[in-house]
Structure 1
Amino acid sequence: MRIIVGILLVLATFLGAGAPALAAPAVDDATARKIDELLAVRAEAGDLPRAELIERLSARLLGTPYGANMLIGSATEPEQLVIDLRRVDCFTYLDYLDAASRSADRDEFTANLIATRYAEGRVEFTQRKHFFTDWAATPRVAATDITAELSPAAVTVTKHLNAKADGSTYLPGVPVIDRAITHIPSAAVDGAVVGGLRTGDYLGAYTPEAGLDVTHVGIIVQTPAGPVFRNASSLADYQVLDTPLADYLRTVPGIVVLRPIP
């Protein structure tokens, strides 16, 4: 199991008007350099729309090795704030991109990462946004679920997130949440749907499995050769890469699309 640099932060509140600045946790040198690179991209982007900024930031992490289960914390182990860009999984990849898109310096990056990853800014296992659709449903809301707007073929199913079919839970200590999950079946992702996708949209691979909304996440990038799914892949290449969207759709039941809030 890889060594993860993290620090346990005990925080009551942060962010908002008059909130005190947060001291950045210690990170390894490679991660520090990568954060600075992302912040430089953010500074150079000026007033570039946020979705396009996210694409630029995501490109700087192409080739980053994949690492499974990057976060530390459970019902029995204290949650730690992990900031480690030497490896990323599909969710932490998006965490870092979202935080960097909002930040001008390392302290802001840390604060925004917490706001992206945890509900109400509390670094606790039970407050972690474990599910993709938490980004559109749990403060601080980072994106809007636009799935239903993209296709009349969109299907909505009520899911009991975190509840397995056998009655147990995926994440002990985390409550079961009833949520309406809308997805577009892959077979219904036609030219109109693809044309409605924008660079920087967050895309999740819908799963019909009980208790889960998606099994993988990444971002959409529109290219001259067609749209690609930029993601931290756990398949053969084990790195952040671009997969032609059409190829990826053949491997999943459907998609859930969230659009970053400007």
Structure 2
Amino acid sequence: MKFKAIFIILGLILFLASCQAKTDKNKSVLSQNESLQINSTDIELFKSLIQFISDPSFNSLSNGGLIIETGKLFLQTPYVGGTLDNNEIEKIRINLHQLDCTTYLENVLALSILSNKASISIDNFSNQLKYIRYRNGKLNDYTSRLHYFTDWIFNNEEKGLLLDVTKKIGGQPYDKTINFMSLHTSSYPALVNDSSLIETIIQTEKTINDRKHYYIPEDKIQQLENQIEDGDLIAITTKINGLDVSHTGIAIHLNKRLHLMHASSKAKKVIISDIPLADMILKNHLQSGIIVARVQLKQQISN
């Protein structure tokens, strides 16, 4: 497949999108779905992306291959954090020209699932994104978003979209009390604006803490990396008190070593790590290991 040409074209599109966004950032375009927020910049980018993912060559890829090639379409996309938290009212926010590590995975997963559909529209993309991003696929309010990534993995595994393979490939128990959001409510504008939401967050944390979690410790990653497949979703666990995961990305092997394709806050864009994932985590004193989730793309949703 001639993906090199695709990347050049998309790179130009992303550059133009970033320029247009500076003058168009306040213009919101609603589809038939009133809970959807997307601007004209992202509508044009979406149209370009679906031309690529609708190509028959994409449909012939394995699950992991499809995640990899869809993920590569976003290489060099600028990293911007907090793009989902710009509204007082929780909406399905589509932003394809600015990504953080979680929205990167959500967009890649949603597009990969839709690549097998005969028709792809803004509305069915937003429905798929909602299904991935919110607990049980239902958008109720800020607390229905899957904020903690272990909860994100658990709920999307229940939906049939993922399989947490961490324990199977040699993971160890990840025993940690998760309560970062309830202990740092001032860091979350939605909780500052509506303190009644805090109790729901506390209950969500209790539910998360009642589950058993597994991770691969940082010093075990290299010896187990051959059991991690291209296209697996990687959640990097953290030593920060109360927090489960601090970063996410997509597994990709280069020169027989496991690397990470991710929206990097350090590089300020989507990149493939220049060093193996195991080395990257060992160099970061706040990161402790990884959780591995394998995508199950045969699961489809319609609403």
Q: Say whether the fold is shared (TM-score over 0.5).
A: yes
What SS does the corresponding residue of 1:204 show, helix, strand or coil?
strand
183, 189, 192: which one aligns with 1:168: 183
Report the TM-score when normalising by structure 1: 0.81
Cα contact 1:203–1:218 (8 A) shared by 2? yes
Q: 1:14 maps to which residue? A: none
Q: CA RMSD in A?
A: 2.7
CA gap 1:159/1:253 in 2 versus in 1, 3 angstroms:
closer
Q: 1:128 maps to which residue? A: 145
The answer to which of 82-91 and 222-231 deviates more is 222-231
Offset from partner CA, 1:6-37 (integer Å, 9 cap, x none): 6899xxxxxxxxxxx95794533332233233
CA gap 1:8/1:32 in 2 versus in 1, 3 angstroms:
closer
Letter in 1 for 2:59: G
Offset from partner CA, 1:170-220 (integer Å, 9 cap, x none): 5652132313221111111233x1100111111111113332211000010
- State the distance in 2 between where 1:82 and 1:4 align: 13
Cα contact 1:67–1:88 (8 A) shared by 2? yes
CA gap 1:67/1:73 in 2 versus in 1, 3 angstroms:
closer
CA gap 1:4/1:28 in 2 versus in 1, 3 angstroms:
same
CA gap 1:248/1:33 in 2 versus in 1, 3 angstroms:
farther
Q: 2:289 maps to which residue? A: 254
- TM-superposed CA distance for 1:114, in Å, is 0.4
CA gap 1:135/1:239 in 2 versus in 1, 3 angstroms:
same
Query: Structure 2, unaligned stretches of length 5 or more?
Result: 1-21, 192-197, 298-303
Report the TM-score when normalising by structure 2: 0.71
Offset from partner CA, 1:193-248 (integer Å, 9 cap, x none): 1100111111111113332211000010123463220111111x200001132432
CA gap 1:66/1:187 in 2 versus in 1, 3 angstroms:
same
- The answer to whether residue 203 in structure 2 is matched with residue 187 in structure 1 is no
What SS does the corresponding residue of 1:221 show, helix, strand or coil?
strand
- The answer to whether residue 194 in structure 2 is matched with residue 143 in structure 1 is no
106, 118, 125: which one aligns with 2:134: 118
Cα contact 1:204–1:256 (8 A) shared by 2? yes
What SS does the corresponding residue of 1:150 show, helix, strand or coil?
coil
